[in-house]
Amino acid sequence: MNDTGKDLPAQATPTSTPQPRSAFERWRRKAMLVTGLGVTEEERLEDLRLHHVQQCERKKEYLMNYSPVVVFMLKHLKLSGCEVPPSNILCAPCDQTRSGGFTPDPGAVVLCAGNFFSEQHMESTITHELLHLYDHCRFKVDWGNLRHHACSEIRANNLSGDCRFTRELRRGFVSFSKQHQACVRRRAIESVTANPACPNEAAAERAVNEVWESCFNDTRPFDEIY
């Protein structure tokens, strides 16, 4: 027989279940967090981070189900033996310089909550990172090998929509002659330069140049540049 309650003081009574806040109280709390009145800066920033993550998760779920290019990539990853569940595409706070990232093991994509300026921006970011995952799964990329890394970066920038004219215009790069190729090359060099195995930008540029022709023309799993 369970008699753990027999030693309670006579005046003790079971605690009641906390009642949900009223709509007014929820609105008041939200107003405090938005204005910063009555809350600490840490509380306000934490609420903003939570809002960005929730918003990111909603958009991510929509794109995984309805974006033609994201659905296409997920299908071909599954066909390659690397099915990607929604839990492997994570929304998380990041620094302001990034929109996403890819972790080879266990094959996870990170979306930087709060760093997207449009749904199309998130779509191209997911596609970019899924292309890295596709290369990792299909071609067994050694990410410490600068030529391997360069090839995947060329393909991801080329095929994801990252180098559309409108995206480049937003970045402040305007060119009417071979704009797409210039963007793909520049962004690939930037990414390879950030590889811990890369000694300097010259080595990154050399790696990109060495694999450029074959990797720029390799549009798998697409038939052509998206």
> Looking up tokens 């811990």, which residue turns up?
196
The whole-number pLDDT of residue 31 equals 53
Handedness of CA 117, 123, 124, 127 (dihedral sign): positive
Amino acid type, 10: A
pLDDT at res. 26: 63
Which residues are catalytic, by number? 129
Model pLDDT for residues 62-74, shown as the tens digit of each residue: 999 999 999 999 9
pLDDT grade for 9, boundaries at 50, 70 and 90: very low
Q: Rounded to whole angstroms, how far apart are CA atoms 71 and 184?
A: 23
At 84-138, the pLDDT tens digits run: 999 999 999 998 889 999 988 878 999 999 999 999 999 999 999 999 999 999 9
Cβ count within 10 A of residue 170 = 12
The answer to whether 215 touches 155, Cβ cutoff 8 Å, is yes
Three-state SS for 110-139 is: EEECCCCCCHHHHHHHHHHHHHHHHHHHHH
Q: What is the pTM of this model?
A: 0.79
The residues, ordered by sequence, that sit 6+ positions from 31 with a Cβ below 8 Å of its Cβ are 37
Burial 175-214, CB ≥16 within 10 A → b, else e: eeeebbeebbbbbbbebbbebeebeeeebbbebbeebbee
pLDDT of res. 12: 38
The model's pLDDT over 19-67, given as tens digits with 9 standing for 90+, comes to 456 765 665 555 555 555 555 777 767 767 888 999 999 999 999 999 9
